[in-house]
Structure 1
Amino acid sequence: MLAHITIQNFAIVKALELDFHKGMTTITGETGAGKSIAIDALGLCLGDRADAAMVRPGEEKAEIVALFHLQNNPAARRWLEDNELADGDECILRRVITKEGRSRAFINGSPVPASQQKSLGQHLINIHGQHAHQLLMKNDYQLTLLDQYAGHQHLLVTMRQRYQDWRAARNELKQLEKSKEAFEAQKQLLEYQVNELNELALGENEYPELEEEHKRLSNCGDIAICSQSVLQSLSEDEDNNALQLLQFAQQKLAELASMDSQFNDLQQMLDEACIQVQETSHEITAYMDRLDMDPARLNYLDERMATIMRLSRKHQVSPEELYAAHQALNLELENLNDSDNLIEQLQAEVELKLQACMAAADKLSKSRKRYAKELDKLISASMHELSMQNGKFHIALDSQPETHLSPLGVDSIELLVSTNPGQPMQALGRVASGGELSRISLAIQVITAQKVDTPSLIFDEVDVGISGPTAAIVGKLLRKLGASTQVMCVTHLPQVAGCGHQQMFVAKASEKGSTTTSMVALDDQARIQELARLLGGSEITEHTLANARELLIAA
C-alpha cells in the first residue's frame, strides 16, 4: 500500500508531505484547487511521461518521492527481487524533473529507466480515471477489463507466445516461397557450374603434381643431356672421371696408412666418398632408364592445365583453390535442392503451430465466456443498486477463428445494456445516457477492481454525473472495497466523501503573485465543516452541518 508521498516544486505545489492509511481515503476541495495533483505527481513515480511544464515556475527541478509498504504485495516483492532492486518490506520510488525537461527515475535509490518504474507500478497501484467511461466504448479496453477480472494471465501469456511462434513460422514460409523463383535461377547456374567442374574431376592436390610432371616432361631433353654429362664426369669418361681419380687416391692413401696409422681415418673417409660417387652414378643411370620423353603425355598435361587455369579464372580463384571451390558449389547446390523439402517441412510446422495457437485461443475463449456470465450477473445487480432497477448488462463474445486471430485470441467483444423494461439489449454507447454511462462504468470498475491483485486503488472523480441517493450507494460500494484494499477517491460528492475512513482537503492560495496548492488530513470536526460546504456551497448553516454529521454517522 501507499504509505507516504513527498512532493516538491511540482506544478503549483511548493512542498507537500502526505501520509496515507488503510481503508478508503477521500480527497475533496474547491473547484480548481488541484484535487488530482497528488495523483498526477504519483503518476510520475509510476513511470508517466515527464515534461518541463511540470516544474513549478522559477524553480530548478521538481521532485516526487513515494513510499510503499510491501508486506501484503508478493507480486511487487517478486518483481523487485527479479530485478535485483529489493530492499526489505518497503519500496521507495523517486522521480526528478529539471526545468529543461530532463528526467531521472530511481527505485530504492538505484537509477532506473522510467519504463522500469512503469513496470513495477502495475503491481503497486491501479488508477481509475474520470474518463474511464469513455474508454469503455473501446473494444480493446472492454476485453482488457474482462481479462483482468478473469485473472487468466497464464492463458494470455500462452496465447501470445503461441501466436508469435505461428506468425514467425508463417513469415519464414512466405519468405522462402517468395525466394523460390530466385532460387530456381540460381540453381540452374549452379548446376551448370558444378557439372563443368564434375567433368574436370580435379583431385584435391592434383594441380601441384601436374605442375611438377609438366615441368619434368617439358625439360626432358635438357635433363637427359645434363644427366649424361654428370654421369660421364663421375664414372663413364674413359680418360678422366671422378671415380678413377678417387680410386687412384684411395690406393695411395692405403700405402700411407700402412706406413702411418694416422691415415686410417682419412682412408675411411675416402672409401665412403668412392661409395657415394658409385651410388650417385647408379641412381643417375636408373633415372635415365626411367626417363620417358612422351609427347602425347605432355600434350595431355598442357590441355588439362589450360582447362584448370581457365576454370580458375572463371571462378576467380587460384588453380590450387579450384578443388575447394568445387566442393563449396556442390554444397550450395545440395542446400538449394533441399529448399523444396524445407518448404514442405515448414508448411507442416506452420500447420502444427496454427493448431497449437487455436487450442490456446479456445481455452482463452472458454475462460472469457465463463467469467463474462459471472460479470453479467454482478454488473446487472450493481446497476439495480445504482438506481437502474430495470437495468440488464451482457457481455457479448463472438469467437471468429477464421478472421479474428491475434495475440489476444479469436474473440470480439461488445458490451450490451438495456436500461428500460421491454428495451432490447443494445451496444452500451447507443443506449445509455451520460449519467447512466458513468454509473455503469463505476459499477464495472468497482467489481473488476475486487479481482485485481494491486493493493492500492485510486478513483479520480469517477463519480461525475452521479448525485443524490445514487451517490450514497457509490460511496458505500467504495467503502466496502476499502475494507480489503487501500482506496483513494477524488470526489466532489459529499455522500461519497462522507464514506471515507479518512478525508483530505485540497486548498489553493495566492500570495505575491504566486499560487500554491496544499493538502491536509481533516479531523472529525474539520470533516463536518468540509462536508457541510459540499452540501450547501459557500454558505454553511446549522442544517448543512447536521446533514454532514448524519453522513458521517451513516458511513
Structure 2
Amino acid sequence: MLKHLYIKNFTLIDQLDIDFHPGFSVISGETGAGKSIILGAIGLLLGNRADSKQIKKGEKKCIIEAHFSLTHYGLEKFFEENNIDLDAEDTIIRRELSDTGKSRAFINDTPVPLQLMKRLGEQLVDIHSQHQNLLLQREDFQLNVVDIIADNAKDLQTFREKYTLYRSAARQLEQMKADIAKGLENEEFMRFQFEEINSAHLTDGEQEELEAESRTLSHSEEIKTALYETDKALNDEETGAVKNVKAAAECLRRIEEVFPKVKGMAERLGSVHIELQDIGSDVGSDVEDVDFDPNRMDSINQRLDKIYSLQQKFRVSSVKELTEIMENLKAQLHSIDNSDEALKELEAETGRRLADCNKLAKTLTALRTKTARKIEEEMRNRLVPLGIPNVRFQVQLLPKPLSADGADKIQFLFSANKSTEMQPVVQVASGGEIARVMLSLKAMISGAVKLPTIIFDEIDTGVSGKTAQKMALIMKEMGDSNRQVISITHLPQIAALGTSHYKVEKEETPAGTRSQMRELSQEQRVSEIAQMLSGADISEAALQNARELLCNGKKQY
C-alpha cells in the first residue's frame, strides 16, 4: 500500500510531504484546488508520459517519490527477475524530470527503464478516473473482467501458447499455397531455364581455361616467332648461349688448380649451363607445339559465346553463378513436384493445432459461462442496495471467430427497470448508474486481484444521499484485507465514512498560486464535511449534521 508521498516543484505544488494509511481514505477539496495535480504526479510514478511543462515555473527539476509497503502482495519474483533489491516494508519509487525534458526513473534507488517502472506501477496502484467508465464500451475490458474473476490466467496462457503455434502453422500454410500457386504459374518457364543451363554442361574453371587458350591461339604467330628466336639464341651450334656458357665453364676449370679463386665461378657457370639446357629443351619443344588451329579457335569461340550468352541472359558474370541459378531452379522444381505431399503434411499439422485451440477455447467458454452467472448474481446483490432496486444485469457470451483470447465475445447488458429491455450498459445506463456499475465491478475485481492501492477519482458522480453512503461502504469493504482505497469525493456521505480524511487546497501567495494537501484532524473533518453540506457559510446545523455523519460512519464500521 502507499505509505508516503513526496512531491517537489510539480505544477502548482512547491512541496508535498504526506503520509497515507491503510483502509479507506478520502480526499476532498474545491474544484480546481489541485486534486488532479496530485493524481497526475502519481500517474508519473505509474509510467505516464512526462512533460517538462509540468515543472513548477522557475524551477529546474521536479521530483515525485512514493513509499510502499509490499509485505502481502507476492511481488518478490518481479524484483528478483529484474535484479532490484527488495525492502518489502519500504519500497521506494521515484521519478525525476528536468527542464531539459530528460526523465529518470528509480526503484529502490536503482535506475530503471520507464517501461519497467510502469510494469511495477500497474501492480501497485489502480487509478479509476471518470474517463475509465468509457472502458465499459470495450469488449476486451468486459472480457478481461470475466477472466480476472474466473481466475483462468493459466488456462488462458496455455490457450494463447497453442493459438500462437496454430497461427504460425496457418501462416506457413497460406505462404506455401501462395508459393505453390506462383510456382505452378512459372513452372514451364522455370523448367525451360533449368534445361537451358543444364544442357550447357558447365564446369567450374572452364571459362577461365577457354579464355586463356583463346588468347594463346589469337597470338600464335607472335608466340611462335618469339619462341623460335629464343631457341636460336640458346641452342644455335655456333652462337647459342648453352654452348658458350659450357665453354666458359670448361675454361675456368682448366685453371682451378693454379688459380683456385675461379673454382666457385666455374661451378656457378656449370649450374647456369644445366638450367639453360633445360630452358632450351622446353623452348624447343614449345616451338614445335605452338601452331594456329582455326578449327580449335572456332570451337573455343562457340563455347565461349554460349557461356557469355547465358551470363548475359541471367545477368551474372561467372559460370559459378550460373550453376547456382540452376541449382536453385532445380530445388524449386523439386518443391513443385513434391508440393502435394508437403501441403498435406502442413494442412494436417495446422488442423491438429486448430483442434487443440478449439478444445482449449471450449474450456475457457465453460469457465467464463460459469463465472458470468456468478457475476450476474453478485452485481444484482451489489446494485440493488446502491439504489437500483429493479436492476437486471447480464453477462452475454456470444461465439466469435477464434482469436488470441478465445472464441467468446462478452457484452454487459443492463436495465434499471423491470419493463425495459436489457441493452449494452453504456447505451442505457445514466452517468450515476455507470459509476455504480463500475464501482461494483472494481469491488469484485479487487477480491480476485491483490492490488495494493486503488484510487477512485469522483466515482460518486451522479449519486447522492443513501446511495453515496452505500458506495462508501463498498469502498470501505474493499479497503479491508490488506488493501488501501482512496476516494476523491465531493460528497459528505462518502467523506464521513473514511478512516482518514485529506484536504487539497489552493492559495494565492506573493510567489504565485500554490496547491497543498493536509490530513485533517477530527475537528477539522467536522468543519470540512459541514462545508460540503452547506457551502461557504457553515451553520451550526451543518456542523451538527457533520458530527452525526461522522458518528454514524463509525457505527457503520
1:25 corresponding residue in structure 2: 25
Is 1:543 the counterpart of 2:541 in the alignment? Answer: no
Q: Summarize the alignment of residues 138-157 of structure 1 with structure 2, pairs less than 5 Å apart.
A: 138-157=138-157
- In 2: Cα distance, 1:58 partner to 1:252 partner: 109
Indicate conservation of the 8 Å contact 1:128/1:445, yes or no: no
Cα 1:435–1:175 shift into 2, 3 Å? same
1:516-539 CA distances to partner (integer Å, 9 max, x unpaired)? 333222233333443444445532
> Aligned to 2:326, which of 300, 324, 330?
330
Is 1:501 the counterpart of 2:502 in the alignment? Answer: no
Q: CA deviation at 1:395?
A: 0.5
SS, match of residue 439 in structure 2: helix
2:77 corresponding residue in structure 1: 78
- In 2: Cα distance, 1:118 partner to 1:259 partner: 105
> Aligned to 1:474, which of 468, 471, 480?
471
Indicate conservation of the 8 Å contact 2:386/2:467, yes or no: yes
Q: Which runs of 5+ in 1 are unaligned?
A: none
1:490 corresponding residue in structure 2: 488
User: In terms of mean alpha carbon deviation, does 471-480 or 218-227 score higher?
Assistant: 218-227
TM-score where L is the length of structure 2: 0.79
1:91 corresponding residue in structure 2: 91
Indicate conservation of the 8 Å contact 2:127/2:455, yes or no: yes
SS, match of residue 507 in structure 2: strand
Is 1:439 the counterpart of 2:440 in the alignment? Answer: no
Indicate conservation of the 8 Å contact 2:307/2:319, yes or no: no
Indicate conservation of the 8 Å contact 1:508/1:517, yes or no: yes
Q: Percent identity?
A: 30
Indicate conservation of the 8 Å contact 1:104/1:111, yes or no: no
Give the aligned residue type for 2:453.
Answer: S
Q: CA deviation at 1:435?
A: 3.4
- In 1: Cα distance, 2:235 partner to 2:7 partner: 114
Cα 1:23–1:257 shift into 2, 3 Å? closer
Q: Which runs of 5+ in 2 are unaligned?
A: none
User: In terms of mean alpha carbon deviation, does 200-209 or 160-169 score higher?
Assistant: 160-169
Q: CA deviation at 1:123?
A: 0.9
TM-score where L is the length of structure 1: 0.80
Q: Summarize the alignment of residues 50-449 of structure 1 with structure 2, pairs less than 5 Å apart.
A: 50-52=50-52, 54-57=54-57, 59-75=59-75, 77-89=76-88, 90-97=90-97, 102=101, 104-108=103-107, 109-160=109-160, 162-163=162-163, 166-167=166-167, 170=170, 191-211=191-211, 296-315=295-314, 322-337=318-333, 340=336, 344=343, 351=351, 353-401=353-401, 405-421=402-418, 424-449=421-446
Cα 1:513–1:311 shift into 2, 3 Å? closer
Indicate conservation of the 8 Å contact 1:417/1:431, yes or no: yes
2:459 corresponding residue in structure 1: 462
User: In terms of mean alpha carbon deviation, does 26-35 or 379-388 score higher?
Assistant: 26-35
Q: CA deviation at 1:277?
A: 8.8
Q: CA deviation at 1:228?
A: 8.4
Cα 1:256–1:501 shift into 2, 3 Å? closer
Cα 1:305–1:53 shift into 2, 3 Å? closer
Indicate conservation of the 8 Å contact 1:187/1:333, yes or no: no
Indicate conservation of the 8 Å contact 1:95/1:103, yes or no: no
CA RMSD of aligned residues (A): 4.4
1:140-183 CA distances to partner (integer Å, 9 max, x unpaired)? 32223223333433444455555555555555665666677776
Q: CA deviation at 1:201?
A: 1.6
Q: CA deviation at 1:18?
A: 1.0
- In 1: Cα distance, 2:511 partner to 2:227 partner: 118
Cα 1:286–1:378 shift into 2, 3 Å? same
Q: CA deviation at 1:125?
A: 0.6
Cα 1:540–1:111 shift into 2, 3 Å? farther
- In 2: Cα distance, 1:30 partner to 1:211 partner: 95
Give the aligned residue type for 1:204.
Answer: D
Cα 1:487–1:103 shift into 2, 3 Å? farther
Indicate conservation of the 8 Å contact 1:10/1:62, yes or no: yes
User: In terms of mean alpha carbon deviation, does 41-50 or 251-260 score higher?
Assistant: 251-260
- In 2: Cα distance, 1:432 partner to 1:281 partner: 113
SS, match of residue 400 in structure 1: strand
- In 2: Cα distance, 1:362 partner to 1:439 partner: 32
Indicate conservation of the 8 Å contact 2:493/2:549, yes or no: no
Indicate conservation of the 8 Å contact 1:510/1:516, yes or no: yes
- In 2: Cα distance, 1:242 partner to 1:35 partner: 112
1:94-127 CA distances to partner (integer Å, 9 max, x unpaired)? 2344567x25131233454543332221111112
Q: CA deviation at 1:414?
A: 1.4
SS, match of residue 410 in structure 1: strand
User: In terms of mean alpha carbon deviation, does 247-256 or 8-17 score higher?
Assistant: 247-256
SS, match of residue 436 in structure 2: helix
